[in-house]
Amino acid sequence: MTSLKLENISKVFGAGSNRVTALSDIEFEAKNGEFTLIIGPSGSGKSTLLTILGGLQTPTSGKVLLNDQNVENYTPKKLEYLRLKNIGFVLQSYNLVPYLTVQQQFDLVTKVKATNNMSSSSFDTVIDQLDIRSLLHKYPNELSGGQTQRVAIARAMYPNPSIILADEPTAALDSSRVIKVGEMLHDIAHAQNKAVVTVTHDQRLIDYADHVYELVDGILSQQK
Ligand SMILES: Nc1ncnc2c1ncn2[C@@H]1O[C@H](COP(=O)(O)OP(=O)(O)OP(=O)(O)O)[C@@H](O)[C@H]1O
């Protein structure tokens, strides 16, 4: 199992009168077997926290610990390998490849990461839960916002990472789909002992989370 922790993390952008403290002294752990929600208004630091957690940007101070080791101590190659193997992202930009169909997005994952992806029967279940089977032959520009979001969730799950980091995965979804996605994120964490961390302003997800943190002006506090 992979462990991922933040110790005393701060992030400051800019300098002088443009200085913004996006995160202050954050302590956080992505716990296996649990669905954790970090909820906060626009500009509170949610994306910054999630991208630092996933190693997509570096903090100004503090430590990111992956498997109890400061990520700064890994070689870039080893760190890349650990991330590819263990961390799945659902980002706000969805990062789908524009010239590949939905099915080909999944095939690409198999090319980049050949082993330990979800079995085809488990992935079939995910495709049905997210109701994206009829979209497999479409291109990203043929999908609605909500459809894109569901495909991005499936793609993050397909490589079977032990940690899933999701940035606003339900923003474009109607309430019935939010229920399905909430249940699914909860079930993945529990049934497969994964750490699922979602940052959002969507209060509709609160009921499905094991833990809820609030992020306000870069300060994190646990609510549940
Ligand atoms: N690259 C950057 N350069 C300068 N300031 C930044 C940068 N990224 C984020 N910020 C600032 O840091 C603060 C937190 O931004 P962040 O995107 O993490 O918030 P958020 O809670 O995810 O917002 P939203 O819900 O609108 O996506 C904001 O004040 C933002 O303007």
CATH number for the domain harbouring residue 109: 3.40.50.300
| Alpha helices (runs of H) in the chain, residue ranges in sequence order | 46-53, 76-86, 102-112, 120-129, 145-157, 175-191
User: Ligand 1 center to residue 216 CA distance, Å?
Assistant: 12
The identity of residue 9, as a single letter, is I
Q: What is the ipTM of this complex?
A: 0.96
**How far is the C-alpha of 151 from the C-alpha of 168, rounded, in Å?**
14
- Asked whether residue 23 is assigned to any structural domain, the reply reads no
Residue 4 lies in a domain: no
* 9 lies in some domain: no
Residue 22 domain-assigned?
Answer: no
Strands 211-216 and 34-39: parallel
Q: What angle do CA 39, 158, 210 make, to 5 degrees?
A: 30
What Å distances lie between residue 159 and 20, 69, 166, 185, CA to CA?
A: 36, 23, 15, 15
Taking the C-alpha atoms of residue 200 and residue 185, their distance in angstroms, rounded to an integer, is 13
pLDDT at 93: 67
Q: Is 208 in contact with 185 (CB distance < 8 Å)?
A: yes
Q: What is the pLDDT of residue 122?
A: 83
Q: Is residue 66 part of a domain?
A: no
Q: Return the ligand 1 atom nearest residue 14 CA.
A: 4
Would you say residue 12 lies in a domain?
Answer: no
pLDDT band at 207, cuts 50/70/90? very high
Q: Cα–Cα distances in Å, from 167 out to 60, 88, 137, 149?
A: 21, 11, 25, 10
134 in a structural domain: yes
Range of the domain at 178: 30-58+71-222
Give the atom of ligand 1 at the shortest distance from the alpha carbon of 201.
25
pLDDT score of 26 more than 90: yes
Q: Whose CA is nearest to atom 6 of ligand 1?
A: 13
Mutate to test the pocket of ligand 1, among 48, 56, 60, 220 (most ligand atoms within 8 A of CB): 48
Number of domains forming the structure of the chain? 1
Task: Give CA–CA dist 123/116, Å, rounded.
Answer: 12
Instruction: Give me the numbers of helices (H) and strands (E) for the chain, helices first please.
Output: 6, 10
The tokens describing 40, both together, are 């906060």
When comparing pLDDT for 93 and 99, which is higher? 99
pLDDT band at 94 (very low <50, low <70, confident <90, very high): low
Whether 47 and 199 have beta carbons less than 8 Å apart is answered as: yes
| % residues pLDDT > 90 (the chain) | 49
Q: What residues contact 6, with CB distance under 8 A and at least 6 apart? A: 26, 27, 28, 29, 49, 52, 53, 59, 62, 63, 64, 65
d(CA 150, CA 174): 12
Confidence at residue 169, expressed as pLDDT on a 0 to 100 scale: 85
